[in-house]
């Protein structure tokens, strides 16, 4: 995935625990445990591993997410992505090879 247009990147050597808020685009390539809130776009890179609940505008998953997620616009699970948890979104896209274990509410 191209890093063009991404405002902030949490590198693959970073381990972050806590609550995080951001405005635009954030990509997580490392490990994150906690909660995330934003109206922006969250990208979980291929090496990214996120454990916790999130509420964002859009979510793109190339890595692993374990927790519940609420996206006001879109959740996209790409071919290397894995989501374990319940999701709520008006639009979901799962590429061939992408994994999703949980319940989905579309509204």
> Mean pLDDT, consecutive 10-residue segments, the chain of 107 residues?
72 95 95 97 97 98 98 98 98 98 95
Q: Closest Cα to residue 16, out of 48, 59, 39, 40?
A: 48
Q: Which residues have C-beta within 8 Å of that of residue 2, sequence separation ≥ 6?
A: none
What tokens were used for 62?
């190339």
Domain ranges for the chain, please list them.
8-85
DSSP lists the bridge partners of residue 24 as none
pTM beyond cutoff 0.95? no
What tokens were used for 19?
């609550």
At residue 4, the pLDDT reads: 56
At residue 1, the pLDDT reads: 44
| Whole-angstrom distance, CA of residue 53 vs CA of residue 34 | 7
């Amino acid at each position: 995935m191209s890093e063009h247009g991404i405002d902030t990147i949490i590198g693959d050597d970073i381990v972050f625990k806590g609550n995080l808020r951001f405005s635009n685009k954030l990509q997580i390539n490392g490990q994150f445990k906690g909660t995330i809130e934003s109206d922006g776009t969250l990208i979980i890179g291929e090496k990214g591993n996120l454990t916790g609940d999130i509420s964002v505008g859009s979510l793109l998953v190339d890595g692993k997410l374990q927790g519940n997620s609420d996206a006001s616009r879109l959740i996209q699970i790409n071919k290397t992505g894995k989501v374990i948890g319940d999701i709520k979104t008006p639009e979901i896209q799962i590429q061939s090879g992408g994994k999703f274990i949980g319940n989905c509410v579309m509204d």
